[in-house]
Amino acid sequence: MTKASAAVALITLGVDDLPRATRFYCDLGFEKSASQSQTSVSFFRAGGVVLSLFDRRALADDAGLPATPRAPFGGITIARTLPSREAVDDAYAHALASGATALKPPQEVFWGGYSGYVADPDGHPIELAWNPFFPMRPDGSIDLPM
Amino acid sequence: MTKASAAVALITLGVDDLPRATRFYCDLGFEKSASQSQTSVSFFRAGGVVLSLFDRRALADDAGLPATPRAPFGGITIARTLPSREAVDDAYAHALASGATALKPPQEVFWGGYSGYVADPDGHPIELAWNPFFPMRPDGSIDLPM
C-alpha cells in the first residue's frame, strides 16, 4: 500500500487555567498566534508542530473520554532540545522563574546527553535536553537521522 | 529580553508493549528511524516533530514522577491533520484496522472542521482532523497563521 508519511501536526495540552498556561508558554518563548487563538484556545508555533492549550474537561469531552482527575503522570512527555548543556541549564532556570515546578535537575543521562524535567503549571512534564546525536534545524526541531 | 523561539522537538508516548506500539505507528504511516531506534525506544519522523515510544514506567522514572496507573484521559491529545473530510474518514478506518480503539467517529465540529478520535493501543487519544483554517506543509505539518 502506498501512502504519504504521517505527521503529528498538533499537540494539545489540557489546562485548568487558560490565561495562566498561555502566559507560561509565552514566557518560555513560544510564539502565540494572534489570529487563530481565541478566549477558549491558544495556538503557538512550536518549531515544526503546533502547540495548543485548551480546557482540560472540554478536551476530554472532545475526545469522547471522561474528564478523570489529573494523575501525577499522564503518560506523555514533550521535549525541547537545546544546543548545549549550558542552554539546558538556562532553559531550566528560566522555566522555574516562569512558574514551572522542578521535577529533575539537568544532569548527564545514560544515553549520552544532558537532560532535566520541569512540570508546567498544569503538571505536564517538559524535558529540556541536549542531545548530541540529533541534529537540530534552525526552527528548533530535530532533523532525525534515518 | 531577546530569545529564540521555543520549539517542541519531540513527543514521547509511554507504552506498555513497545513492539506492539511500534507496529501500530508504522502501520499508520510514520517513518521509523532505523539508525536511532533501539530495543528500548522507537523514534519516528512525524512531520516537523519527532515521535518517540518508550516504556511507560521508564518514562515516568526519567521524568522524576511516580508511574501511576494509566487514566482514561491523560490530559494530552496529539492530532494529525488531513487534507479533506474523505482523508479523515480513510485515516479513521485505517487506524481501526491497525488496532486503534474508536473514541469518536469523524463528524462536523463546532469550530468549522471535521474531526474524529481514536485511541492507540496504549490508550493515547489521537485526533484525526480536517481543518480548513490551517494551511498544511508538504510534510503534513501546519503552517500556523500568525
So what's the ipTM on this one?
0.95
Mutate to test the interface with A, among B16, B120, B144, B146 (most CBs of A within 10 A): B144
DSSP B7-43: ---EEEEEES-HHHHHHHHHHTT-EE-TTT-BTTEEE
Minimal C-alpha gap between A96 and chain B (Å): 15
Strands A10-15 and A50-55: parallel
Minimal C-alpha gap between B95 and chain A (Å): 12
Within 13 Å of residue A138, how many CA atoms lie on the same side as its CB? 0
Q: Give pLDDT tens digits for A8-44.
A: 999 999 999 999 999 999 999 999 999 999 999 999 9
For chain B, domains (ranges, CATH) are 8-67 (3.10.180.10), 76-139 (3.10.180.10)
Nine-digit cell string for A39? 478566549
Q: How many residues does chain B have?
A: 146
Q: Give pLDDT tens digits for B70-118.
A: 999 999 999 999 999 999 999 999 999 999 999 999 999 999 999 999 9
